[in-house]
Amino acid sequence: MTSSEQIFTTLVLPYLNHAVRTYESGYASVSDIDAAMRFGCGYPKGPLTVVDEIGVAQVRDLLGARYAETGDHLHEPAGLLEKLAAEGRTFADEAAAAGEGAAPQLKHEINRVGVVGTGTMASGIVQVFAQAGYDVVFVGRSQDKLDGVIGYITKNLDRAIAKGKGTEGDKDALLGRLTGATEREALGDVDIVVEAIAEDLDIKLELFRDLDRIAKPGAILATTTSSLPITKLGEATGRPQDVIGMHFFNPAPVMKLVEIITTPATSADVDETVRALTANVGKVGVSAGDRSGFIVNLLLFPYLNDAIKLAEGGEELATVDAAIKETAGFPMGPFELLDVVGNDVSLAIQRELYGEFGEPGFEPAATLVAKVEAGELGRKTGKGFHTY
Ligand code: 3HC
């Protein structure tokens, strides 16, 4: 076996197994798991399609061999692989048996959208809604931060114009749909608020209490959190039925996925409206429950963590990055992506997953912890796994 193939076996097979287990547990459908990884991470194919292509029995056997070497529960072939192999069935058969639901409809009228936050995710989300024709009110803590959002969007639009994918007129029209505000009261007449502020429960709880006071009755209150309990945010308001997760991916204007997270209290109408709105802004929505990691982070971060552990064993970073792009066709190698996401964010997510699932294999890699302690967070600090 060549080294590239070894790297594929070490990093990609456990990811495939994890995807099978996620489906097997009933957490998400075959189509949503595959769409999540294609549209959230830019993978050419979803993991369950890849399992079908390699062959269910072959994946079981490859994992079985790996499990015999490592004894790691994460490598033990999922029971469903055995079952499907025995029945001669595939994940495509499972998806076909589940059938497709009807296209979602807007049950609430959505004209004006509010966004809270001025960071990278918030800026991207403002752009996504304005690009789809919505008037957007965005709220930040200072005029400087509001200007930063306009700067981010202007830069993206200028880059698109330079590539012949838009005109100055389109840009002016889009920027004309934006209203920045330093006071949350400006959100009083929006139909949906999407918050993308700091990933800290107390900070978000305070915001949701305030949104409950400010937003008009019936307005949808959405959060982009990737790791905090949305149920708790709903409970901080007097309207938990209107609270939902809309988890966008980085960079938001490019990545087509939105994970739509309902809590036990979210109303069916709010869920359907957000699924319809997601489609209206040109994104692909997948549905998942309020649990740490949702679909993408659950499948992505243990694989990134495994890559770090592989490098700790002496593998070169550039070799791993290149091998993954070549063998799996992923758009970025694991270390390139870690540097884009930020090691601090990755460590926080990995810790959440380790806490929620208690899998020994999910324990954050020592080097990830060390990088964060050294302030080597990735592109944003000029150095992470690679240097910029
Ligand atoms: N903002 C806006 N647009 C951007 C952008 C940005 N930051 N970066 C790139 N683009 C646009 C480019 O303008 C270009 O647009 P065009 O096709 O209309 O001309 C398009 O994206 C492709 O860009 P490039 O050709 O420069 O670069 P690539 O082909 O290398 O693609 C990429 C860049 C889309 C980022 C690709 O590398 C990719 O898909 N990477 C995977 C990213 C990923 O996995 N994200 C998920 C991270 S996990 C997460 O977000 C969850 C959270 O909870 C942590």
CA of 339 to the centre of ligand 1 (A): 13
- As a 3-state breakdown, the chain gives helix, strand, coil percent values, each rounded to 5, of 60, 10, 30
Q: How confident is the model at residue 2 (pLDDT cuts 50, 70, 90)?
A: low
pLDDT digits (tens, 9 = 90+) for 56-69: 999 999 999 999 99
> Of the residues 289, 324, 339, which one is the last residue of a structural domain?
289
Catalytic residue, from 247, 272, 305, 346: name it: 247
> Of the residues 273, 289, 305, which one is the last residue of a structural domain?
289
Q: Decide: 165 in ligand 1 pocket, CB within 6 A.
A: yes
User: How much is the pTM?
Assistant: 0.94
Share of the chain above pLDDT 70, in %: 99
- Residues 247 and 137 placed together within one structural domain of the fold: yes
Q: What's 23's domain CATH number? A: 1.10.1040.50
Q: How confident is the model at residue 258 (pLDDT cuts 50, 70, 90)?
A: very high
Is 104 part of a structural domain of the chain?
no
pLDDT digits (tens, 9 = 90+) for 130-155: 999 999 999 999 999 999 999 999 99
Is 211 part of a structural domain of the chain?
yes
Q: How confident is the model at residue 100 (pLDDT cuts 50, 70, 90)?
A: confident
Q: Is 259 a catalytic residue?
A: yes
Is 250 part of a structural domain of the chain?
yes
Question: Containing domain of residue 185, as a range?
Answer: 112-289
Work out the burial of residue 100: count CB atoms within 10 Å of its CB; fewer than 13 is exposed, 13-18 middle, 19 or more buried: exposed
Catalytic residue, from 156, 297, 305, 343: name it: 297
Q: Decide: 249 in ligand 1 pocket, CB within 6 A.
A: yes
Helix axes 168-176, 120-131, angle to 10 degrees: 110
Model confidence at 216: pLDDT above 80: yes
Is 51 part of a structural domain of the chain?
yes
pLDDT digits (tens, 9 = 90+) for 276-333: 999 999 999 999 999 999 999 999 999 999 999 999 999 999 999 999 999 999 999 9
Q: Please state the domain count of the chain.
A: 2
- Residues 276 and 311 placed together within one structural domain of the fold: no
Q: What is the pLDDT of residue 99?
A: 85
Q: How many CA atoms lie within 13 A of 106 on its CB side?
A: 12
Is 387 part of a structural domain of the chain?
no
Q: Is 156 a catalytic residue?
A: no
